[in-house]
Amino acid sequence: MNSYSQAFAWLADGAHWAGPNGIPQRLLEHLGYTGLTLVIAIVIALPVGLYIGHTGRGREVVVPFTGALRALPTLGLVILLALGLGIGILPPLIALVILALPPIIAGAYSGLESVDRQVVDAARSVGFTGPGVLWRVEVPLALPLIVGGIRSACLQVIATWTVAAFLPLGGLGRFLYDALPNQDYAQLLAGSILVIVLALLVDGLFALVQRLVTPRGVLAGRTADIRTKTQSPTRKDPSWLAPEEA
């Protein structure tokens, strides 16, 4: 536990909270890069995902492609683009946008696909046209899953900007890369704790947003579902019938 007290001593040291190498500056860099990556990825991925989910077209092209993207090692892609395109923020930004696309696309189309077809048919029968069905019926119902896709993309981006901090761009990962060659375990641990706390806070925030955007009707349906389940004894798990418990 000694290493932890050292790490917290490092975190408590006022000298680490000021200047261009201080924690606030590094945190702002990390958040700025993450936000920028996420905005670009959403602008590209959301229309694609909504198109696939709404029309059902293009699925067989995009789905295997996004699956294959998952096999790409993030560190390799960042280094490949950094070496290929030169210095600056652009190469890692491109790499990270590419990595953030699959979860957002998947969240959008699986969200739209999860919408009950009868609801869509009902919307059409009361006069909704294509865009009306999409924006006023499908998207609101799919919003929790769409936000879920953005949530996993965001966590992936936070993690990968940490790894990408070997580039001279800053970010919280800088503390880790500076600590490794010097075997400065207090800083290594402190930097790791900072990134983990940031990731968990962002994850919690997204969980909250997901709950807020869930339409009230869907939530009501869910509670009704639980109630019918508990009231009807036949739906209960029949494991009490198992001989060894009898």
Partner 1 sequence: MNWVVTNWSQISDYGLAHIWLSIPPIVVGFAISLPLGWVANRFAISNGALRLVRPVLLTVAGILYAIPSLPLFALLPSLIGTRILDPLNVEIALTLYAIALMVRTTADGLAAVSDDVKLSASAMGYSTARRFFGVELPLAGPVLLAGLRVVSVSTVSLVTIGSVIGVNSLGFFFIDGYQRAFLTEVWVGIIGTVVIALVFDLLLVLLGRWLMPWTRRQRVSRAARLAAAEVVGA
Q: How far is the CB of 162 from partner 1 (least distance, A)?
A: 5
Among all chains, which residue has been given the structure tokens 């006069």?
Answer: 127
**29: closest CA among 205, 181, 225, 175?**
175
Q: How far is the CB of 241 from partner 1 (least distance, A)?
A: 4
Q: Which is nearer to partner 1, 222 or 235 (CB)?
A: 235
Q: How far is the CB of 72 from partner 1 (least distance, A)?
A: 7
SS3 content of the chain, % helix, strand, coil (to 5): 85, 0, 15
Q: Which is nearer to partner 1, 123 or 188 (CB)?
A: 188
**What does the binding site for partner 1 look like in residue numbers (CB under 8 A)?**
3-4, 7, 67-68, 70-77, 79-80, 82-84, 155, 158-159, 162-163, 166, 173, 176, 180, 183, 185, 188-189, 191-193, 195-196, 199-200, 203, 229-230, 235-239, 241-245
Q: How far is the CB of 79 from partner 1 (least distance, A)?
A: 5
Would you say 111 and 218 are in contact if contact means Cβ atoms under 8 Å apart?
A: no
CA distance 137 to 141: 6
Tell me how crowded residue 78 is: count the other CB atoms within 10 A of its CB. 24
Q: Which is nearer to partner 1, 20 or 73 (CB)?
A: 73
Q: Which is nearer to partner 1, 32 or 132 (CB)?
A: 32
Q: How far is the CB of 128 from partner 1 (least distance, A)?
A: 27
Among all chains, which residue has been given the structure tokens 């806070």?
Answer: 201
- Which amino acid belongs to residue 148? G
Q: Which is nearer to partner 1, 53 or 173 (CB)?
A: 173
CA distance 49 to 143: 12
